[in-house]
A = this chain, B = another copy of it.
Amino acid sequence: MRVIKSIQSLQRLIQKAKRSGESIGFVPTMGALHQGHQSLIRCCRRENKITVLSIFVNPQQFGPHEDFLRYPRPGRLDKMLAEKEKVDIIFTPTEKTMYPDGYQTTVIVGDRAQGMCGRFRPGHFQGVATVVIKLLHIVMPDRLYLGEKDAQQVAVLRQVVRDLNFPVTIRVCPTVREKDGLAMSSRNRYLSAIERNEAAVLYHALQEARFHIRQGMRNAGTILRRIRSRIQRQSSATIDYIVCVDRATLKPLVTVHGKVMLALAVRFGRTRLIDNILVNVP
């Protein structure tokens, strides 16, 4: 496994690999790797000759009062996990490398970045879109691996990649969950023992809603109220949002139909968690 910090070194390496016709898969992360990342890496390794993993806690996607400074950075453990998973190249640039003095350019996204987390984290998705375009230019992958847990991020990046004609295939891997259903997240480690126990309600409430839809419930308002009341009943969480949207466009639905996503963001103390599930409504 090669650990590379310099953009130019990586670009040279990639160019050489591409000239030999080797396929490149890319897993962008902010580190603090967990089984969700592991599943992305494994999927990437199956489909590509070379697997590139980036670890970069991108300041531009954090708001001024968010957890940029305390975001976990277990560098050595991350490298051990990557090594074990047979990642070929880890890219670990510094902030200065990615945003040198005089840096000025931003990629702005449209509607899909406005609702849901966009409402609560202004600027977040333009930070994500910009860093991912930069990383795509550095890694030039054939395939990009994203997690279904970050559903809005996936929708935004699909839009950006398509709009800007970047030639890459986006692969989305299913959310990996703890035994009690909590979606794996680098932020779970912030939770106290009590919060950690309570957090399982998120997935249970989403599952219950899916059950109701399958039983014939079609009114989105009713479904969302059920999710909300269960979370409020069984936890101390503060709800940022719970939505029922079209899976591809993220447009809110009044009556559920087609490919539906139920998504939510809630806060346990200072820890903000997101989750979502998909439901196919015939």
Q: Spell out A's residues near B (CB within 8 Å).
A: 7, 11, 15, 18-19, 21, 103-112, 129-130, 133-134, 137-138, 140, 159-160, 163-167
Contact = CB atoms under 8 A, between A and B. Distances in A.
A272 B192 CA distance: 65
Contacts of A7: 165
A107 B105 contact: yes
18 contacts: A11-B165, A11-B167, A15-B167, A19-B21, A103-B163, A104-B110, A104-B159, A104-B163, A105-B107, A105-B108, A105-B159, A105-B164, A107-B107, A108-B108, A133-B133, A134-B165, A137-B165, A140-B167
Contacts of A18: 18-19
A134 B21 CA distance: 24
Contacts of A110: 104-105
Copies assembled: 2
Contacts of A134: 163-165
A195 to B, nearest CB: 37
Of listed A11, A165, A166, A167, residue having the most chain B CB within 10 A: A165
Contacts of A133: 133, 164
Contacts of A138: 165
A78 to B, nearest CB: 23
B104 A111 contact: yes
A170 to B, nearest CB: 14
Nearest to A19: B21
Nearest to A15: B167
